[in-house]
Amino acid sequence: MDDKTLRAAVEKYWTTADARDWDAFATLIAEDVVYELPQSRERITGKEKYLQFNREYPGDWHASLYRVVAEADGGVSWIRMEDGGETVDAVTFFETNAEGLFVSITDFWPESYEPPAGREHLVERY
């Protein structure tokens, strides 16, 4: 898969997820997909389980895509997820197979934290 095609697939992944269009979302996922969440040490194996995980995910969340970096066999996205006034940034890594379907998806959901004291003169908080 070339960079442009992969970029479009990652964009479609987030667009269809945000729209809860699980039929279109499913067209991007390989049958043997492995989805991992390293911070909670969870792994989902298989397309049907992964689709069910997404269908059942609670809340009224909405994803905004900020950046996609795409290479021949994988890419990464940076999104901002909003749910009921809470906003969280996330980074997702994607790997594809020869058919251009996602075979590996790894989400990182970092938690916000307060910076250590002593660098206030160097930084701007937002």
Give the pLDDT confidence score for residue 125 in this predicted structure: 85
pLDDT > 90? residue 64 = yes
Residue 114: inside a domain: no
Distance of CA 8 to the CA centre of its chain: 14
Residue 49: inside a domain: yes
Give the pLDDT confidence score for residue 79 in this predicted structure: 97
pLDDT > 90? residue 111 = no
pLDDT band at 50 (very low <50, low <70, confident <90, very high): very high
Residue 31: inside a domain: yes
Residue 121: inside a domain: no
Identify each DSSP E strand in the chain by its residue range: 29-37, 42-45, 62-70, 74-83, 86-96, 102-108
List the CATH number of the domain containing 102: 3.10.450.50
Residue 117: inside a domain: no
Residue numbers of the domain that contains 14: 3-108
Residue 35: inside a domain: yes
User: d(Cα 26, Cα 31) in Å, to the nearest integer?
Assistant: 9
Residue 39: inside a domain: yes
Number of domains in the chain: 1
